Amino acid sequence: MTLQDRLDAFKADFENGKLSMKPTPQVLDVMHRATAELVSSGQALNAKKAGDKAPEFTLKDPEGIPVSSAALLEKGPLVISFYRGVWCPYCNMDLQALQAAVPDIEARGAKLVAISPQTAPNSRKSQRDNKLTFPILSDDKSRVAAAFGLRFSLPDYLVELYKGFKNDLPAINDDPAWVLPMPARFVIGSGGIIAYAEVNPDYTQRPDPSELLPVLDRLRAKATA
């Protein structure tokens, strides 16, 4: 079963009231409206793409240790996954699928990091709950997400819904702004050039980690040619 198959099954169970949280039709309408508006805004089309130079960054891991994209790229390709936070079940399923792919990614000489606007304690919880061996980096005020063209502001009606869900993003992210990154995955190769980019304004849609492997194979072949 692919990652998307699992996400689709979870979404169907959630929307059909088969999980502990049973959304009303009004709640579902709000969630669908917000996603449709973000899709129609075209913002994803303006995010960084394959062939673009990737923004450099230095972010802290959950233990407060700075992690530099430039330093990681000196050792080989870099896989980056932007995700929303520990509170998002789709993001957690995405992280679990990436963890399963870590041996294949690292066998190709690449490193994997995840980036989220959440604070270090929330990232530590994400790592524990999802049994991750790769780091989650805290993107203060979503600045790196903005550099990649991913940061967006939640509409007021979605903010009210999230408050009702007890998803207090200002507390989770230590940021008064109600902003999130669009989920995205990038592979960055030599020279900091993006070799693969997948950005989707619909947070229920995620690429399967297996899509990364042919890209990494091509980068390795190019490096050894």
The tens digit of pLDDT for each residue in 12-21 reads 999 999 998 8
Task: Please give the single-letter amino acid code of residue 60.
Answer: K
Spatial separation of the C-alpha atoms in residues 122 and 99, rounded to whole Å: 18
In this structure, are residues 145 and 181 in contact, taking their beta carbons and an 8 Å threshold? yes
Give yes or no for residue 225 having a pLDDT over 80: no
- pTM for the model: 0.96
Start-to-end Cα distance in the chain:
35
Please tell me the distance from the alpha carbon of residue 101 to that of residue 213, in angstroms, as a whole number: 9
Report yes or no: 185 and 122 within 8 Å, Cβ to Cβ.
Answer: no
pLDDT for res 127: 96
Structural Rg of the chain based on CA atoms: 17
Q: What is the pLDDT of residue 19?
A: 92
pLDDT tens-digit map of 52-111 = 999 999 999 999 999 999 999 999 999 999 999 999 999 999 999 999 999 999 999 999
The two tokens of residue 70 are 């430039």
Tell me what percent of the residues of the chain surpass a pLDDT of 90.
Answer: 96
pLDDT digits (tens, 9 = 90+) for 134-153: 999 999 999 999 999 999 99
* CATH class assigned to 3-224: alpha beta
Predicted confidence at residue 20, as pLDDT, reads 87
Give the per-residue pLDDT at 190: 87
Bridge-partner residues for 187, per DSSP?
A: 79, 196
